[in-house]
Amino acid sequence: MKIIIIGATGTIGSAVADLLEKEHEVVRASRRGPVVVDMDDPASIDALFESVEDVDAVVVTAASGALTPLDSDDDFVRGIQGKLLGQVHLVRRAMRHLRDGGSITLTSGVFDEPMPGGSFGAMVNAGLEAFVKAATIEMPRGLRVNTVGPGWVAETLERLGLDPADGTPVADVARAYVQAVEGTDQGRTIRP
Amino acid sequence: MKIIIIGATGTIGSAVADLLEKEHEVVRASRRGPVVVDMDDPASIDALFESVEDVDAVVVTAASGALTPLDSDDDFVRGIQGKLLGQVHLVRRAMRHLRDGGSITLTSGVFDEPMPGGSFGAMVNAGLEAFVKAATIEMPRGLRVNTVGPGWVAETLERLGLDPADGTPVADVARAYVQAVEGTDQGRTIRP
């Protein structure tokens, strides 16, 4: 398969790209390249699908999940652009461009417990998970769409000076994305 | 209590306003007045809270739930502005302006079964419901925030030439909003 990874320079994205590259042709895309795409900018998503052809699958791991105080003026709504609207826009573009039977894998998150600053993430994650479930009925040509909810990654926690035992090793997270690409899941949220 | 109803000219909004007016002071707001507010325009939400003082509760019933094909170019993202971002913006403004112990009641929806054109509504509703649940932890001064998921209203179905038995009478829907305003619910989705 030919697979685009968006966010391929990140902790999760590079692990997913490395794992998929053992079996597939991987196109690494991110804000800084090598193939450039900015999830905040719908036009750059359009340009990606114009420039890379014969794609079987697209995986988005580029999605910041920063905590955002409810009363912090504009950050809240700005954050919606890439994480929610960008991923929705990507699905709508990928639907037209992917090869028959291809797949789209998004990234949501895990906010099980309410926490200060978590209402933005909770909204986006629940919205994305409901979106992929509902969108399946409109997927043409056997396309599949899923989201992976990676939660905290152990390596990220470690880098932040926190206990990595509270997170999931990035290798396990990467396998969840590979399952979404190579498996038969449809409209699901896959948790590593 | 002094209560602003946004969307007070609609089927649900006028029923809610009539019911609350028996016990409370109601300010009827909508795109066409008498008090003018447009949920698509954050500045008009700000202006509403500047112009109406000493408010105990705000209820939003103005929220279109139109089906939107996933592949219909710009409608999809445009629809997010009022229904999702507008309601979120309203919560963030109301937090600052409502009297202690006041309440904010939003409108989500019911999309239990995937249907063509339903992915937008499913995303927005799930997002709003997760948002109010998560936002409670950041509510200051005893404020409450809830959403009502009215589903199909019998009177609306009848006007569309459909079977009203598939919907909920607007009187029952209005009582759900009154429960949200007068009761003690917090972070909940109330279904009539």
**Residue range B4-23, pLDDT digits in tens:** 999 999 999 999 999 999 99
Higher pLDDT, B148 or B116: B148
Q: Which residue type sits at B141?
A: R
- Which of A114, A119, A130 is facing B123, going by the closest CB pair? A130
- The nearest alpha carbon in chain A to B74 belongs to A89
3.40.50.720, 3.30.365.10, 2.40.170.20, 3.20.20.70: which CATH number matches A2-190?
Answer: 3.40.50.720
Judged against a pLDDT cut of 90, whether residue B33 lies above it is answered with: no
| Domain limits, chain A | 2-190
Whole-prediction pTM value? 0.89
User: What share of residues in chain B are helix, strand, coil (percent, to 5)?
Assistant: 45, 15, 40
What's residue B129's pLDDT? 94
Judged against a pLDDT cut of 70, whether residue B77 lies above it is answered with: no
Q: Which helix (H) or strand (E) holds B171?
A: helix B170-182
ipTM, two decimals, is: 0.87
State how far the Cα of A61 lies from the Cα of A150, in Å rounded to an integer. Answer: 10
Q: Which helix (H) or strand (E) holds A42?
A: helix A42-51
Measured between beta carbons, the chain A residues lying within 8 angstroms of B114 are 133-134, 136-137, 187
Mean residue pLDDT of chain B comes to 90
Mean pLDDT of A55-61: 97
A130–B134 CB contact, under 8 Å: no
Mean pLDDT of B124-128: 91
Mean pLDDT of A5-27: 96
* Largest CA-CA distance found in chain B, in angstroms, rounded: 46
Query: pLDDT grade, residue A184 (50/70/90)?
Result: very high
Higher pLDDT, A105 or A118: A105
Tokens coding B8? 């007070």
Mean pLDDT of A30-55: 92
Which residues, numbered 72 to 111 in chain B, qualify as contacts with chain A under a Cβ-Cβ cut-off of 8 Å?
76-77, 80, 84-85, 88-89, 91-92, 95-96, 111
Residue A114 sits at the chain B interface (C-beta within 8 Å): yes
Buried-state track A12-25, b at ≥16 Cβ within 10 A, e below 16: bbbbbbebbeeebe
In a 13 Å sphere around the CA of A16, the CA atoms on its Cβ side amount to 35
Give the residues across from B148 on adjacent strands.
B107, B190
Phi, psi torsion values for A72, nearest 5 degrees: -85, 115
Residue B122 sits at the chain A interface (C-beta within 8 Å): yes
What's residue B40's pLDDT? 84
Judged against a pLDDT cut of 70, whether residue A177 lies above it is answered with: yes
